[in-house]
């Protein structure tokens, strides 16, 4: 992998060969992230001091665009090295707070125009979504939350960022399919199922009208779970909004209940949104799963490896 820095004064600085690197893709929140290290020379001082952006390429293809959060310069027994780290473009929206605002039958294009584009975000995809009621961005909400809540409530999907840094504000399209079987060079595989915190019921209460709406997680109830949350919404909530709030809370609580982490040799075999077709008889794992997160890393001692976090298809 190769990398370059983009400085605040619009200069481009090609990084020397990387000694080690780690690139994590989630496509959403928490943000994509990266850390790279390389041999430091004093001529790099100004570029590091003004570094604002980072881009990485693998085999000529862009695999990450991100902002730079931090750099360090270290002198030890191994010589003089520099390390640069940062987050994906979702950070631009997470780091900026929205003023409270209420929209009347807003469109997704309008939401993106007000809450994403002013922060240098390019939209590679925008679904044709319109609110059927008022949409309120509460005080203290980040720009990301303003966009994400609108997409979830009225579109039924979660916005994502592509590796190239474009915001994809539309339903996820099925990506490539990576087949992994017993004969493939799997370095490690871990299956984890954790029921802690998975809700069996979300009771949503409109505190102004004193009305409530209960949403139950029948799958978890059948497993013997018992975990209820009471959520209070602002006054004059619609039944659709209350139902969505309950379903959203249950879905979020179950997001990390089941996952497989599988590590393969090499770099960037898949990205979030791709599919992994598993046929691992020894683990009892068979079927097609969604790639939810990838971590790609390299160092001179261990070479390159990629860990994929897989979750059930929705």
Domain ranges of the chain: 2-88, 93-169, 177-193+257-311, 201-254
Is residue 18 within 8 Å of 2, Cβ to Cβ?
Answer: yes
Of the listed ranges 84-93, 142-151, 207-216, 293-302, the one predicted with least confidence: 207-216
Torsion angle of the four alpha carbons 214, 219, 224, 229, in this order, in degrees rounded to the nearest 10: -30
pLDDT at 254: 77
Report strand pairing: 188-193 vs 258-265: antiparallel
pLDDT at 213: 85
Name the residue with higher pLDDT: 77 or 150.
150
Name the residue with higher pLDDT: 214 or 238.
214
Q: What is the mean pLDDT of residues 136-144?
A: 95
Is residue 18 within 8 Å of 27, Cβ to Cβ?
Answer: no
pLDDT at 245: 78
Per-chain mean pLDDT for the chain: 92
From the list 158, 161, 148, the residue with the least C-alpha distance to 64 is 161
Is residue 60 within 8 Å of 36, Cβ to Cβ?
Answer: no
pLDDT category of residue 257 using cuts at 50, 70 and 90: confident
Domain 93-169: CATH superfamily is Baseplate protein-like domains (3.55.50.10)
Q: For residues 236 and 135, give the distance between their C-alpha atoms in angstroms, rounded to a whole number.
A: 12
Domains 2-88 and 177-193+257-311 are alike in CATH topology? yes
Is the pLDDT score of 49 beyond 90?
Answer: yes
The structure tokens listed for 308 are: 């994929």
177-193+257-311 — its CATH code? Answer: 2.30.300.10
Is the pLDDT score of 104 beyond 70?
Answer: yes
Q: For residues 211 and 239, give the distance between their C-alpha atoms in angstroms, rounded to a whole number.
A: 10
Q: What is the mean pLDDT of residues 254-281?
A: 93
pLDDT category of residue 240 using cuts at 50, 70 and 90: low
Domain 2-88: CATH superfamily is Baseplate protein-like domain - beta roll fold (2.30.300.10)
pLDDT at 59: 94
Q: What is the mean pLDDT of residues 190-210?
A: 85
pLDDT category of residue 163 using cuts at 50, 70 and 90: very high
């Amino acid at each position: 992998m190769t990398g370059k820095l983009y400085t605040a004064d619009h200069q481009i600085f090609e990084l020397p060969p990387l000694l080690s690197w780690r690139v994590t893709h989630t496509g959403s929140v928490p943000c994509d992230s990266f850390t790279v290290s390389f041999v430091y020379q004093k001529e790099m001082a100004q570029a590091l001091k003004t570094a604002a952006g980072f881009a990485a390429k693998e085999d000529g293809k862009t695999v990450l665009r991100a902002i730079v959060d931090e750099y360090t310069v270290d002198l030890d027994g191994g010589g003089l090295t520099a390390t640069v780290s940062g987050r994906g473009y979702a950070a631009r929206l997470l780091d900026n707070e929205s003023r409270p605002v209420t929209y009347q039958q807003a469109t997704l294009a309008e939401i993106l125009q007000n809450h994403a584009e002013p922060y240098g975000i390019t939209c590679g995809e925008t679904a044709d979504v319109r609110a059927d009621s008022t949409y309120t961005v509460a005080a203290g909400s980040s720009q990301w939350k303003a966009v994400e809540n609108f997409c979830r409530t009225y579109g039924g999907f979660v916005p994502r960022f592509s590796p190239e840094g474009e915001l994809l504000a539309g339903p996820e399209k099925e990506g490539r399919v990576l087949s992994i079987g017993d004969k493939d060079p799997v370095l490690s595989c871990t299956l984890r199922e954790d029921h802690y915190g998975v809700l069996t019921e979300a009771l949503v209460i409109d505190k102004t009208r004193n009305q409530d709406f209960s949403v139950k997680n029948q799958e978890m109830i059948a497993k013997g779970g018992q975990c209820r949350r009471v959520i209070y919404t602002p006054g004059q909530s619609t039944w659709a909004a209350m139902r969505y709030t309950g379903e959203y809370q249950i879905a979020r609580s179950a997001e990390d209940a089941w996952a497989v982490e599988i590590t393969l040799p090499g770099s960037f075999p898949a990205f979030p949104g791709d599919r992994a077709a598993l046929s691992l008889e020894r683990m009892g794992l068979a079927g097609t799963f969604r790639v939810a997160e990838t971590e790609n890393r390299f160092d001179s001692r261990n070479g390159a490896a990629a860990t994929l976090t897989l979750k059930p298809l929705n």
